[in-house]
Amino acid sequence: MSRLIHHNLYIYYSLVLVLFIVNVFLKNEALEYIVGLLALPMLFISYLGAAKLFRILGTVFVLIGLVLFLYAGLPLYEIPFYMTSTMPLLAFLAVLPWMNSVVRAGRFDRRINQLMKSNVEDLGKLYVRTSLTTYTLVSFINLSALSLTQNVLIENMTKFKKTLRDAFISRTTLRAFAIALAWSPMEIMVAITVDTTGVSYLTYLPWLLLCSVIILVIDTLWGKKAFQNVPYEPAVEGHNRVFSPKEFGLQILHLLVVLTTFLAIVVFVGNQFNLNFILTVTLVILPFACIWALFMKKWRSFLAIGWGTWKARTNGMQNFVVLFLSLAFFSSSLNETPFLQLIQEPFLAASGYPIIILLLIQFMYLGMSMIGVHPVATVGVLMEVLPPLYDVMNPLSIGMVLITGALATATVGTYGVTVTMTSMNTIENPYRIMLRNMPFALLYGGIGTLIAYLLL
């Protein structure tokens, strides 16, 4: 029975999320209450299938939220109204697999990964090639790019010692992953920050790109120097094919044109209908992916890949459903109490020293990631605390740190998805991965904070 429920969760999740999106335009209070009511069993069912870490986080948020709710003297029948504030994030996550699927249907992932290992003499060159490949793919297929690139490296580095192979894989793939997401409109931390700070995505884009490129250049030079003295021996003889700059360039150009078009449509739709960034991206992704698939004449392949991928990913959303719905209840309840002002006071007291606030945000992310708290949960608390500072500090600066601080943890969060996935793929202790990447995480956060400080 539980297996049957798990395989059909996508139906229930989709029903609730579609009703929520419809009500964004209708603004009907009765429908809002129905969506909130449906969110309660949605939370319970997801809790049963969520990972232990997310169950703990969800329990903490729900219990504290309930205490705050009762302290505020609110009637219990109003609880459904306090369950929907993070629904846009769940809808956003639910449609992301379709963009992943159209890239796979066009076989961009395979072609670029084939070029990754072409004409490589040493691991220094492979480091640069892998970083650029992962960086490109992550912009479109997010977490799938990490798994894809790591599997290619594992397959082609079997002749190397395990310690060297593990160090190479965890450095190049995790770091490129974290760097690429800094400016991606399909990264949830970017979307949350844009809507939270009220600063447009186009205002963030040049500064996030600058930060991303600076860190990418530093890391590729760093990695090239560290591994340049190690000759590359492909696992299969003759597999090291000739690298074609023209072929690689055409693939990149195609993806850049598509991404630019996607961003232009997102900005146009958002401005035309006065929608927030998260909702706009959510509404644009599916029709855009369909049109792209038709343009490439890959419609059947896109549907076959997309439907299976979407069902599997949506059925596996229990962790995020538990996190976001419990966070919604907690943050909405907190807003009804005077405790929010008490939490805000230390930040307001330090408002005369903006560098302290920026560093505090960075190290709060790092510290919380060490004990398994997802960056979304951290920013969920911060976005309730920081708004009063927007009057005395440039919200763009705060947003830069919210994004870079969160993404830096992708390389060191021992209980995070990315580090856990890398640990499973390489059969390596996640704490070893964390220690190896900590200097990079501090560098990433430091450059993000420096740019943010200069923008004050």
What pLDDT does 238 receive? 47
- Residues 66-93 have a mean pLDDT of 93
| Number of other residues whose CB lies within 10 A of the CB of residue 287 | 11
59 found inside a domain: no
The structural domain count of the chain equals 1
Asked if the structure places residue 78 within a domain, the reply is no
Q: Which of 219, 310, 255, 217 is nearest to 103 (CA)?
A: 255
Q: What is the pLDDT of residue 65?
A: 93
Mean pLDDT of 233-258: 69
Residue 162 within a domain: yes
Tell me the C-alpha distance between 393 and 453, whole Å.
10
CA dist 79 and 84 (Å) reads: 10
CA dist., res. 322 & res. 45, Å (int) = 9
Q: Write the DSSP symbol of residue 291.
A: H
Domain assignment present for residue 324? The answer is: yes
Task: Count CA within 13 A, CB hemisphere, residue 170.
Answer: 32
Q: Does the pLDDT at position 67 exceed 90?
A: yes
Against a cut of 0.85, is the pTM above it? yes
Q: What is the largest CA-CA distance in the chain?
A: 72
pLDDT on residue 108: 77
Condensed to tens digits (0 to 9), the pLDDT of residues 269-300 reads: 988 888 889 899 999 999 999 999 999 999 99
Which domain, by its residues, includes 242? 88-454
Total Cβ atoms within 10 A of residue 253:
10
- Domain annotation covers residue 243: yes
| Structural domain contains residue 345 | yes
- Stretch 418-422: mean pLDDT: 86
Euclidean distance between CA atoms 413 and 420, whole angstroms = 8
Bridge partners of 231, per DSSP, are 122
Q: Would 404 be classed as within a structural domain?
A: yes
In a domain, 48, yes or no: no
Average pLDDT, the chain: 88
Q: In the predicted model, what is the mean pLDDT of residues 322-336? A: 91
The pLDDT score that the predictor gives to residue 148 is 80
